[in-house]
Structure formats: structure tokens, C-alpha cells
Structure 1
Amino acid sequence: MKFELLQRFDKKRSPEQLRKHFDTEKAIAAKLKTSSREERKVIYSTMYDELLATVPDHPRLTRRKDRVTTETRIRTQLALIERFLADDTIFVEFAPGDCELALHMCSRVKSVYAIDISDQGRESLVDAPKNFKLIIYNGYDLDFEENIADVVFSDQLIEHLHPDDTQLHFQLVYKILKEGGAYVFRTPHKFMGPCDISRYFSDKAEGFHLKEWTFMELAKVIKSVGFRSWFIYWKNNLIYEQPIFYLSIVEMVLKMFPRESRKIATTVFLPGDISMVCIK
């Protein structure tokens, strides 16, 4: 147990609670990593129900009661997507979690669709606005109109995808976006990892973060799908268009650093996490 991380990141849970969380995620993740696509469809439908039932102190459950934390998270997410919104926007969020952002968006845009692999017993949806719709799918087969969305958003999703499924996810997003539409997403940078529950117990991601990415790895996926351009958010939400030369050099150099030094250098020479915009 890395006690310095425990004191820094999670003061509300005991080492025993964290260990139980880690062991549960690690066991489910191990099944996912060795599964076929058909097997993953079944696992996806139950994995979060299993996790939350086994780990009742999971942050996803406890933070539902913390309005300050929820509102802070929504403000951070809005800072990434606000520039792309209009009254007639059709907004889609993948992996919406507690759906608080999606519900907030209902007063800002024309239509809101929240797409997830499980309904996870979201009590907040009982009185959802009429322009909101929750869509549950198996992670692959999405029954959704093509070329309709103005903005697609995901926050802390990409790292949870099986590496074999990441390109498929971007292809799904590409299909539902209008020409000129934007996919805005945020995911931890590989050099800052592990960023899941593993960080207390391991030097590599062994929980639900099946793969943590670098900018250049994601840039290759984005290009292969057909997006015509992409941007990154820097500190203070400044946007830079396809800084390929800078990112490739910095990530190549940082890759050679010792792990802890690499983390520190990443916060200096890179934004810290990966926040990107892909334009169809």
C-alpha cells in the first residue's frame, strides 16, 4: 500500500476498503483482458453492477451525495465543451456516469442522449426532462441515427475500453457526428499512471483502466478513423491544432525517463491529462 498516495487522494476510505476495491476491479479486468468480443458484451452488461454491489464505498456512489464535488466536476466538463454548444445542439455523452452533466445540458441544448453499457440504477433520471434519453447498448451495436450529433463528449472513458475496441468506439462516434461535428474527450495520460485504483498497489494499471494512452497513440487512432483534424487543450483551456511535432518529440523523450521523474516532467511539458477535440 502506498500510504503517501492514500493520504493525498483518498482520506475517506481505509486501506482494507481500498484493497477490496482493487481486488474486485483487478479480477473483472483480468476477465476482460482475455475475453473475446462476444464475451465482453456479456461482461460489459454486468461489470459495474458487480463492482458497485461489492464495493459500496465506491466514489461513484458516495459522491452522488456531494453536490459541491458534482458541481465542480460539471464546471470542469463545461469548460471543455462550452465553445461548441448552441441552442439547437444535439448533444451525446458516452459513459455519462451519474448523468449529472447530461441532465444539466438539457437546459442548454435541443436534445441530449446519454449512452452507456448499464443503467446503474440512476435515481436522478426519474424526473428527467423530455429532451433527455438514456440509451443502453452492449458496447458495440449502437442503434442510433447517423450524421445527427453536433457534439459528442466522454470523460474518463477511453482508458476503460479494451484496446481492441478503441478504434471501434471512435468509428461509432464518427458515424453519429454531423459533418463538422466535434468529439470532445478527456482521458488520463499514460505517463501519469496508473490513474485507477491500481495506483495504491501497483506501478501499472491493473483495474478498469485497460489501457492508458499517450497523445500520439490516440492521434494515430483518430487519423485512421477519418477525422479531418484534431486539437488538444493545454493549461487554462487554450486549444492548439495538431501539434504533432512537439508531442512526438516530448513523449519520445519522456518515455526514457524513470517513472517518477517522468510523472513530474509530464506536468511541466504536457498538459497532465489528455483533453482532445476531433472534428469530422
Structure 2
Amino acid sequence: MFNQETRSAERIREHYNLEKKLAEQLRNSNETERTRLYTSLYEKLFQSLPDHPQIVRKEDLQLRKLHISDQMKLLRNFLHNNSRCLEIGAGDCSLSLEISKYVEKVYALDVSETITKQQAIPQNFELIISDGTSIPLADESITIAYSNQLMEHLHPDDAVKQLRNIYHVLADDGIYICCTPNKLNGPHDISEYFDRVATGFHLKEYTITELSTLFSEVGFSHLKIYKNFKSILIGFSPYPFILIEWMLSKLPYKMGKKIASALLFRWLLNIIIVGRK
């Protein structure tokens, strides 16, 4: 996440100390407290760190366009003109607004109303405000749900609850596309410079093994791990990747981390998991 860092070591340390302190509040909070803490603690972080990489990237129009383009290259493989889509963690809704050009209906779900002001809102777009885990839509009303770099930011209890709620709103044969970093080559938050596991706002990073188990427990009947090979998206059974993760987990930490962080293994371990109801 921060591999193109340009800040000084002192500023990185300040960021780490603050984010770790705020993240501890989330980790140690109960479900009721977290409904307000997700928003307030992130706001405190960003207000205190005007040079935070996410703020810098958000202000760069070209980077934002590239980010949306990269996600659409993935999503266009699944979208149809009769699709009813849900983006979870929609942020400024730029991606959802782009998705609206290709589908029947798109819902953008987030904890705050931060929709991009500069764009006209199409009739097939709807913004939904949530507490971070609930999804106030009718059961079996969505054909495609999508989240990108979201699950790792949720408290583990909330992540399980949200996944169950996603399953309930999916129609029969509906899919959930979940993109999240793999903890074997993490951490992927600010703690990458200091710790072996994420201690910042990545409250839990996952492996393919863990997510495959979790998706199956919730009720998803078919799982695939998708890889982009020469601009062709190919779906694979999770089992080869589970085997790779098992082998890496048996190595000494430094050796396993070095291999998992190599370019080929970063590609292999990058998580795009699709669960079909």
C-alpha cells in the first residue's frame, strides 16, 4: 500500500504511532461503539496527516482515473446490462457512477455521504448509508456485489457479519467479488515498516485459505480465485493457492516473507475471490 512512500522517516513514524493508537480503539471496541468509531477515527487520522498517501492519491486526478480503469477491467468481465450491482465501501462513488453506464441498477454503500459533487447522478444510481456492516436492501435483490480493499479494514467480527449480509442480498446465482491483500506478503498498511502483522487500520489481513473457509461457512457454494494473464481473466479453484500458502507457512518467517513478496508470488497470492451463491 505504501511502497511508493516519499515522506521522511520521521513523518512515517508519526503516522504509524497515530494510526496504531486509533486502530487499537477499534480493535478493543464493541459492536455498538464501532458504528460511530469507523467514521470518526478515520476522520481524525486524515485531519492529522494532510500528507497521508491516500489523500495525496485522491487529489491526483490521473491516479484516480487509472484506479477506476483498473477496477473496470476486472468488473467488465462480470457486468451485464440487466445486472443489479452493489459496491460496498464506495467512497466518493466514482467507480459506482462508472459502473452505472453498463448495468440496470447500481447501489453505492458507504458509511458517509461523500459522493463526487462534480458529476451528474444517473437515474439508475442510488447511494445507501450504512453503519459499516448492515446492508439495507431486500434479500435476493443484487446480482453482483463488489468490494475493493475494504474487508481488511473491518473488525473481524464485523467482516463476518457483513459477509453474511452480502450473502442474503444476493440473488440465486449472484456473485460477490472481493479484492483484498494477502497477509503472507503483508502487512499492507503503515505497519509494514515496523511489524510482522498489520497493527494499523488493517484490522485483519487474510489469506486465500482463510477467506475460502469463511465464504464457505457463510454459504457460498462455488469459489474461484481470479488471475489476469495477458489481459485474460481466468478463474481457478482455490486449492492450488491454498497449497502454496500452506507451503509458505511452513518456512521460517524471513524466508517465507521474502518468497511471498517476490513478483511472481505477489501475483499468485493477490486475492480476487469470487463467491457464487
TM-score, normalised to structure 2, is 0.89
Q: Counterpart in 2 of 1:53? A: 47
> Is the counterpart of residue 176 in structure 1 residue 173 in structure 2?
no
Distance 1:239 1:129, change over 3 A: same
- The answer for the alignment partner of 2:123 in structure 1 is 130
Task: Quickly say closer, same or farther: Cα 1:217–1:125, change in 2 above 3 A.
Answer: farther
Please name the residue that 1:115 is paired with: 109
Asked if 2 retains the 8 angstrom alpha-carbon contact of 1:115 and 1:134, the reply is yes
8 Å contact from structure 1 (residues 48, 118) kept in 2: no
Residue 51 of structure 1 and its aligned partner are, at CA, apart by: 1.9
Quote the residue 1:276 is aligned against.
273
| Aligned twin of 2:237 | 242
- Aligned-pair CA distance for 1:263: 3.2
Q: Which amino acid aligns with 1:136?
A: I
Q: Give the whole-Å Cα distance in 2 for the aligned partners of 1:97 and 1:60.
A: 12
Q: For the Cα contact (< 8 Å) 2:241–2:269, is it kept in 1?
A: no
Q: Which runs of 5+ in 1 are unaligned?
A: none
Distance 1:135 1:276 in 2: 24
CA spacing shift, 1:122–1:18, aligned 2, 3 Å: farther
**Fraction of identical pairs, as percent:** 35
Shift of 1:192: 0.9
Q: 1:229·1:242 contact (CA, 8 Å) conserved in 2?
A: no
Runs of 4+ aligned residues of structure 1 deviating over 6 Å after TM superposition are: none
Task: Specify the code of the residue in structure 2 equivalent to 1:103.
Answer: L
1:99, CA displacement in angstroms? 2.0
Superposition pairs for residues 61-140 of structure 1, below 5 Å? 61-119=55-113, 121-124=114-117, 127-140=120-133
Amino acid at match of 2:44: E
Matched, 1:41 2:35: yes
Secondary structure of 1:184's counterpart equals strand
Q: Tell me, in whole angstroms, the C-alpha distance in 2 between the residues paired with 1:177 and 1:81.
A: 17
**Cα RMSD, aligned residues only:** 2.1
Deviation, 1:123, is 4.2
Could you say what secondary structure the match of 1:134 adopts? strand
Query: 152, 155, 158: which one pairs with 1:162?
Result: 155
Q: Letter of the aligned partner of 1:239 in structure 2?
A: I
Counterpart AA for 1:9: Q
For residue 122 of structure 1, report the CA deviation from its aligned partner.
Answer: 4.3
- Aligned residue runs from structure 1 range 210-221, under 5 A: 210-221=203-214
Determine the C-alpha separation between the residues in 2 that align with 1:90 and 1:157: 20
Alpha-carbon shift at residue 111 of structure 1 (Å): 1.5
Equivalent pairs counted in the alignment come to: 272
**1:89–1:151: 8 Å Cα contact kept in structure 2?**
yes
Q: 1:46 and 1:80, CA in 2 relative to 1: closer, same or farther beyond 3 A?
A: same
Query: Aligned partners of 2:15, 2:126: CA distance in 1, in Å?
Result: 31
Q: Deviations over 1:195-227 (max 9, x none)?
A: 001112323211011111111111111001111
Quote how far apart the aligned CAs of 1:243 are: 3.3
Equivalent position to 1:209, from 196, 202, 205? 202
CA distance in 1, matches of 2:65, 2:253: 33
Aligned residues of 1:198 and 1:205 also touching (Cα < 8 A) = yes
Task: Please point out which of 12, 18, 35 is paired with 1:18.
Answer: 12
Secondary structure (helix, strand or coil) at the match of 1:271 reads helix
Deviation for aligned residue 1:114: 1.1
How far is the alpha carbon of 1:142 from its aligned partner? 2.9
Residues 239, 104 of structure 1: alpha-carbon distance in 2 compared, 3 angstrom cutoff: same
CA distance 1:134–1:214, shift in 2 (3 Å): same
Output the CA distance in 1 between the equivalents of 2:61 and 2:208: 32
> Is 1:263 aligned to residue 257 of structure 2?
yes
Q: State the TM-score, normalizing by the size of structure 1.
A: 0.89
Deviation at 1:240, TM superposition (A): 3.1
Q: Which amino acid aligns with 2:129?
A: I
Q: Which runs of 5+ in 2 are unaligned?
A: none
